[in-house]
Amino acid sequence: MQLTKIETAKAPAALGPYSQAIKAGDFLYCSGQVPLVAETGELVEGGIVEQTRQSLENLKYVLNAAGVDFNSVVKTTIYLTDLDNFAVVNETYAGFCGEIAPARATVEISALPKGALVEIDAVAYLGE
């Protein structure tokens, strides 16, 4: 199986030795996106709503670079530094879901890069 690196300047550059996404066969594995603004490398201003929206926008740019959108996403994982934000994140997340909401896990973790409140990764199906 051939692996193909997917990159876009519209999403923040990787903060370490990883790719924004890897195409492997009929699947696209997207690295977690924190709410950084690509042009500045800084966290988006605002709270959990703005950070969730920015993380999802960044993920959208990565998906688009591979020629797909949220309708192709089959699985996401949301990492939160505070599960009390779960309902608010759900409201924002729902606006990005495709026709069929993907399978999902949401977990609370102790910290994220640059002090972010949320990180979201995804797996998308590239086949028919």
Domain residue ranges in the chain: 3-125
Place 99 in a pLDDT band, splitting at 50, 70 and 90.
confident
Q: Which CATH class is domain 3-125?
A: alpha beta
pLDDT of residue 23 exceeding 90: yes
pLDDT of residue 128 exceeding 80: no
pTM over 0.75: yes
pLDDT of residue 71 exceeding 80: yes
Would you give the DSSP letter of residue 101? P
Kindly state the average pLDDT of the residues 36-62.
97
pLDDT at 31 (0 to 100): 98
Q: Which residues contact 38 (CB under 8 A, 6 or more apart)?
A: 9, 10, 11, 12, 13, 58, 61
